Chains A and B, each alone.
Chain A
Amino acid sequence: MHATALRNGPSPVPAPIDSIVEVRGLSKTYGNVEALRGIDLDFPRGKLTSLLGPSGCGKTTLLKIIAGLIKADGGTVAINGKRVSAPGPERAFVFQDFALMPWATVTRNVAFGLELRGTNKAEREETAHRYIAEVGLAGFEDKYPHELSGGMRQRVGLARALSVDADVLLLDEPFSAVDEQNRRKFQEDLIRLRTNQNKTFIFVTHSIEEAVYISDRIVLLSPRPGRVSQIIEPQIDRSGDPERIHRDRHYLDTVEEIWQGLKQYVE
């Protein structure tokens, strides 16, 4: 089956059967720049949804509003049916620039979410070590962030987000500060992680290839003001060798289709 465009235009989407995050009528203005206008979105449970669009389309703003880090001017965000306006334990954030504490070891960085919750030291370190191994950093527990490469630092950021056992993982262009080879490896790992961990991922990216490669669902945002222009569900089989996806016909067609749609916003 070919990639399906579900809808066009900004009219509300019929809610999927089980959506964990519901965004209704969200708007945000910075000074006199309208960053977001009337965003209605549902994020299905257990899926990876990408927010994709050119710079200035407000995708990071949208993600940070869902995270509770930025206040919206209008509209609501509900997680598991409950309205939220501040950060909460059911969401965990992965930052573009990693946001690691340079004075703390990998273990303490990964365990920081649990430390803030008051989990005792032995327990939180055990959890941290488990997730450090999960993201492939076993043996680096006592290193400091500056002793790690960019890709490894972001793995620490990911392990930190996993260790608080949140339902929703919010990733803000997590691979943009990572070099190309590491990014490929990281994307493959993320696909594997998704099948192991029963979590919902919301992923901000400006890379079409990256979005199509990893996403169950892609929300295309158009710039100035940021609005939902299209929702695409690439039908790609990710069960086999992740290397193969790059040569998959559906993958290539979907990338092309999205590029044709986004072209108009590029000068």
Chain B
Amino acid sequence: MTLFGYRIPMMASLLVWCVVWEIVGRLDLVFLLPPFSDVLIAAVDLVQTPSWQTATVTTLRAFAMGMALSIVIGVPLGILMGRFKIADDLLGMWVNIFSSAPLSAIVPVLMILFGFGEKTIVAAVFLFAIWIIVLDARAGVRHISPSLIEMARSYGASRPALYTKIILWAALPEILAGIRLGLIRGVKGVVIGQLLVAIVGYGALFETFSRNFRMAEFWALTIILFAFALVIAELIERAEAKVEYYAGARQ
């Protein structure tokens, strides 16, 4: 972007909005919106509190467990669906329904199933993240050139070798893209899960802050969460760029 002939860095627009926020906050128009500087100060204070630190550990742990589960189950399931028509026919419908369904509506059911604890949060992350991982892994396997499979067979690849040396690698760009999208959905899952359960991790904090109208802390926590989601997505994108060099070269 250029303005009056000067090149403006990408982050500039973010700065503009921060300034706007600050002004609106200082004008005291809406009490829900404290000045941005207050929010920043609150964020610095917040990260030093033991309650935030425990909440973060709880949240991260639930997120990591839910993601690990959805990757470990989702990727093989997607590969299976990509390779075998029968698996695709059996599961395809459900995966498609769940990947576009409003999953927040199901989280209360999870609470009944798993109780008011970490298990529900893990289940929520899993439920939000897995479907896109399955769909992308399936698409990746579908796009593998048939001659690559024939090549492996003609040079005597055993069934396990075919999967570990060819299929997994050939589908890797799509699998990683699925995991990146899954992570973003997983963040949604962890937040929605915790908000509904409301006594675990960030959910409890959000509950406390909004009940007591501690808006600066409320926004600080929101910003921390957004930043976390963005950083994760960015990290995966970097990993993807490393496999990009061959993704573009595929026929």
Contacts and interface: CB of A to CB of B under 8 A. Distances in A.
Contacts, number: 67
Given A92-B155, A116-B161, A99 B147 contact: yes
A117 to B, nearest CB: 7
A228 interface: no
A153 B166 CA distance: 18
Contact of B151 (A91, A95, A145): A95
Interface stretch (B10-18, B74-82, B111-119, B242-250): B242-250
Contact of A101 (B154, B169, B245, B248): B169
Interface string A83-123: 00001110111011101011100000000110111000000
Interface in A143-167: 144-146, 160, 164
A93 B154 CA distance: 7
A145 B246 CA distance: 9
A97 B249 CA distance: 13
A95 B157 contact: no
B169 A103 contact: yes
Contact of B245 (A67, A97, A144): A144
Nearest to A104: B169
A117 B152 CA distance: 11
Contacts of A242: none
B249 A146 contact: yes
B238 interface: no
A96 B250 contact: no
A117 B243 CA distance: 27
B246 A164 contact: no
Contacts of A133: none
A69 interface: yes
Given A69-B150, A101-B148, A117 B156 contact: yes
B169 A99 contact: no
B245 A69 contact: no
B153 interface: yes
A103 B243 contact: yes
A68 interface: yes
B145 interface: yes
Contacts of A112: 155
Interface residues of B, number: 26
Contact of A95 (B147, B172, B247, B248): B147
Given A69-B150, A87-B153, A93-B154, A99 B145 contact: yes
Interface in B111-156: 145, 147-148, 150-156
B156 A99 contact: no
A250 B118 CA distance: 83
Contacts of B153: 69, 87
B9 to A, nearest CB: 33
Nearest to A172: B147
A68 B154 contact: yes
Given A89-B156, A113-B156, A99 B151 contact: yes
Contacts of A68: 154
B166 A101 contact: yes
Given A99-B148, A146-B245, 16 more contacts: A87-B153, A92-B154, A93-B150, A99-B151, A101-B169, A101-B170, A103-B170, A113-B155, A113-B156, A116-B152, A116-B155, A116-B157, A116-B158, A116-B165, A144-B245, A164-B155
A-B complex: 9 closest residue pairs judged by Cβ atoms: A146-B249, A102-B246, A99-B151, A113-B155, A99-B147, A93-B154, A87-B154, A102-B249, A103-B246
Interface of A: 64, 67-69, 87-89, 91-93, 95-97, 99, 101-103, 112-113, 115-117, 144-146, 160, 164
29 contacts: A64-B150, A67-B154, A69-B153, A69-B154, A87-B153, A87-B155, A89-B156, A91-B154, A93-B154, A93-B155, A95-B147, A97-B145, A99-B147, A99-B148, A99-B150, A101-B166, A101-B169, A102-B246, A102-B249, A103-B170, A103-B243, A113-B155, A116-B157, A116-B161, A116-B165, A144-B245, A146-B246, A146-B248, A146-B249
